[in-house]
Structure 1
Amino acid sequence: MSDAAQPTAAEVRAAAEAVKAALDRHLAAVERKSGDEDPAVYEAFNQLAAAAEAYDELLYDRHDEVTPFEIPGDDSLPPYTGPEEPNALSVLIRRDYAVAEPQRLRAQAQRVEDADSEAVLGTTEGASGTVHGAIGILFGEFEPDEIASRHKEFGLEEGDSTLWVVAADEPADPGEWLEAPFEHVDPERVVCRFDVSAVFDDEDDEDDDLDEDRFDAPLDDEDLEPLDANDR
């Protein structure tokens, strides 16, 4: 970091004072708490964590030193403050994949492309020749849940995934959130969430091992499962 970008000694001192004040607020909230999930304690905890993190960063930038404190992360949801009887809900889903077998991915996209070109004369072919083109074809052809259930067939490897159910007072207006669909989510309106990650796995899934063994052999056209009409 350049000297011009370094915080001043006064800024570091102010950050230290903010930590002290946050400590006092947190202790006061704890002393007055009304239960195990008192929102005032939760808010004071977050304020203390933010103040400590800001002080630690400024201390390091100015003096190349750190504090001995580490505020533990809290992955649980905050207390629900949404409507008691929601009139609408949003389901937010993220699924990550690795392109494990590009050849398989392109081959399956080629099958879809060939079927489409036979059905519509004059259709331009060739999008399946690239990985990004193949991805566009397959995700345009199949529903996300079908991709998830058949990901190995498409040469994909599952990563982390999460699903959030968020309560709302009223349905959103058409087109209202399409440009930024995952912004401005209020965690206090999340009714429930479901996370899937390899970090949660204590042991290997025997069924997954069997499926992976199926694709260990060199890939050729005979190995590819045909996509029949009922699949499309």
Structure 2
Amino acid sequence: MSDAAQPTAAEVRAAAEAVKTAIDRHLAAVESRSGEDDPAVYEAFNQLAAAAETYDELLYDRHDEVTPFEIPGAEEALPPYTGPEEPHGLSVLIRRDYAVVEPQRLLAHAQRIEAADDDDEGSEASGTVHGALGLLFGEYEPDEIASRHKEFGLEEGDSTLWVTASDEPADPGEWLEAPFEQADPQRVVCRFDVSAVFDDEEDDLDDEDLVDALDEDLEPLDAER
């Protein structure tokens, strides 16, 4: 970063004061919380996270230094549930990412699908990757593709599944034009995430850490003997 673009010492100091204020506000909200999912605590948490992130960035830009703590961003946590206590409907929202790592394998599968379909005589959809993907997902259910992705020349990326609650089931055809537009994080009953990031975190444990973890797990068993 150039000197001209660097924040001033006063800006860094002001950001530090904002963090102090946000800490006081968060503590006050926690001390006076009205329940487990008090929205005031959630809002104070987000304000603290934003203030800490701003201070960390300015501190680094000005002094090439970082803070010794990390507060997860608001996008990493679900907000308090505000949906119906007794939902009469639900929606299951699924996103799965794949990388096309073996295009020829994908194309070969698409050609076999095309050859077996008498209605597609003369079609050349299997000659392109996007056409082959259309044939693949038209032939197989998404769950089957997920279980056989390597066979189709695909590599799994991140995936997430959200179960959201609704007051009443949607009318037929009501949301088909924009299926994910009204996904409300505050109506998520539960969610399940799969990512290589989690595997990387487990791989970061060295042998000594694993031994310590196993020892901790075994301690209650030893005490019972």
Whether these two folds match at TM > 0.5 is yes
AA paired with 2:111? Q
Q: Does 1:139 align with 2:140?
A: no
1:50 maps to: 50
2:210 maps to: none
Alpha-carbon deviation of 1:173? 9.1
Q: 1:158 to 1:69 in 2, by over 3 A?
A: closer
Please tell me whether the aligned partners of residues 96 and 160 of structure 2 are also in contact (alpha carbons under 8 angstroms).
yes
SS at match of 1:153: helix
2:21 maps to: 21
For residues 150-188 of structure 1, give each alpha carbon's deviation from its aligned partner in whole angstroms, at most 9, with x where no partner exists.
323323233332110112345389575745x54564322
Instruction: Point out the more displaced range, 46-55 or 33-42.
Output: 33-42
TM-score by length of 1: 0.68
2:123 maps to: 124
Q: How many residues align?
A: 199
2:114 maps to: 113
- Distance in 2 between the 1:167 and 1:106 partners? 39
- Distance in 2 between the 1:41 and 1:49 partners? 12
Q: How does 1:123-202 map to 2 (within 5 A)?
A: 123-125=122-124, 127-169=125-167, 171=170, 174=173, 178=177, 181-182=179-180, 185-198=183-196, 199=198
- Distance in 2 between the 1:27 and 1:38 partners? 13
AA paired with 2:113? V
1:95 maps to: 96
TM-score by length of 2: 0.70
SS at match of 1:53: helix
Unaligned runs of 5+ in 2: 204-225
SS at match of 1:160: strand
For residues 22-48 of structure 1, give each alpha carbon's deviation from its aligned partner in whole angstroms, at most 9, with x where no partner exists.
011112122223555544333322221
AA paired with 2:157? G
Aligned-pair identity in percent equals: 78
2:66 maps to: 66
Alpha-carbon deviation of 1:84? 2.0
Q: 1:11 to 1:163 in 2, by over 3 A?
A: same
- Distance in 2 between the 1:76 and 1:54 partners? 19
Unaligned runs of 5+ in 1: 204-232
In angstroms, what is the RMSD of aligned CA positions? 3.3
User: Could you say which structure has the higher helix fraction?
Assistant: 2
Structure 1 runs (4+) greater than 6 angstroms displaced: none
- Distance in 2 between the 1:174 and 1:4 partners? 55
Q: 1:132 to 1:120 in 2, by over 3 A?
A: closer
